[in-house]
Amino acid sequence: MKWKETAGVLAVLIVLLGLPMMLKYWRTVGMIHRYPPNTKVIRLTAVADGGLWTQDEIVGYNYWWRKPTRAGEIALNQGDHVVVQLHSADVLHSFAIPLLHIGPVEVPAGHTVEVAFDANRPGDLTFLCWQVCSPEHSKLQGDFIVKSNGSEDSW
């Protein structure tokens, strides 16, 4: 009888500890292989409180006590294929890069949406939230800075 209880406790521990570790591995290693080689994957999370896009991981348990850093300028190289994984930590947001005619793409609360583009020309690409989401909505913006390889004009 004692061995059955021990086996049950071990099975519960394996599920409780193993499943989150498998999901973390799948997200960080397994998901990257679905993109073409040399794809730059950028994860941006929108947070209405403070009005910011951040590259910090914001999830339920750390939303209230963590002070994320603002993703101001994100460096890219000319010719990069870029996949931006957009996540909303709290309310409905939307994402747009007006210069590339991308968006607005809705990012529902708690969901992740992907946007892909090619950084073909050097220059600044401003990204922003298109959906009025909070009193600090106007702060939800940043820039992709595309560095030139010397072959084409800027945006």
In a domain, 67, yes or no: yes
Backbone angles phi, psi at 136, to 5 degrees: -100, 25
Same domain, 4 and 45: no
Identify the residue whose tokens are 């101001």. Answer: 72
pLDDT band at 10 (very low <50, low <70, confident <90, very high): confident
In a domain, 153, yes or no: no
How far apart are alpha carbons 92 and 39 in whole angstroms?
27
> 46 or 1: whose pLDDT is higher?
46
Same domain, 25 and 42: no
In a domain, 119, yes or no: yes
What is the value of pTM for the model shown? 0.72
How far apart are alpha carbons 12 and 45 in whole angstroms?
32
Same domain, 25 and 73: no
pLDDT band at 114 (very low <50, low <70, confident <90, very high): very high
Same domain, 2 and 71: no
pLDDT band at 139 (very low <50, low <70, confident <90, very high): confident
Same domain, 116 and 48: yes
Element (H, E) at 46: strand 39-47
In a domain, 155, yes or no: no
Does the pLDDT of residue 11 top 80, yes or no? yes
Same domain, 14 and 65: no
How far apart are alpha carbons 83 and 65 in whole angstroms?
29
In a domain, 154, yes or no: no
Domain boundaries, position 110: 38-147
Give the residue-averaged pLDDT of 4-33: 78
Same domain, 28 and 80: no
How far apart are alpha carbons 116 and 4 in whole angstroms?
51
Same domain, 29 and 42: no
Give the residue-averaged pLDDT of 95-103: 88
Give me the half-sphere count of Cα atoms (radius 13 Å) on the Cβ side of residue 119: 27
